[in-house]
Structure 1
């Protein structure tokens, strides 16, 4: 079985946010169509805010790490240019030749 590529942003947070939104819709339908009384679930609202904040932090972290990695690649010096040597195209010759 082929191994899947690791996701950079956890799909767990996205799934949990979808589940919380389904609960929110369920409460709204229950409130407006069945019971006809206001239902207040502040824990559900807090959970939605926390999951959105965690998802935004994770996305920001992934973007920050990608920028750091890109900056590290551009800052690496090429040794063949600094010492005047060129890379040999044939594997049987030395670097100075």
Structure 2
């Protein structure tokens, strides 16, 4: 795996446009609902976290692997949301 493209759908009771991404993810009701990904331009896979599905371990590992290039349309938002989601799993994303 050299590249991973990610997209998330999330929910928070905090208005993103008014409060910003950090307040949005700090809300007690923040959650990632769907996690979509594609490896090396392959078929898109969708994990329905809201229905109890879990992101596969190899994908979680890729998110912290410095050798894997990450792609996202709104990368800052995706990174902040994923960082918040992963901290509960004991995983930390490198901020750089």
Question: TM-score, normalising length from structure 2?
Answer: 0.20
Structure number with bigger Rg: 1
Structure with the larger helix share: 1
Structure with the larger strand share: 2
Question: TM-score, normalising length from structure 1?
Answer: 0.20
Higher normalized contact order (CA 8 Å, seq sep 6+, divided by chain length): 2
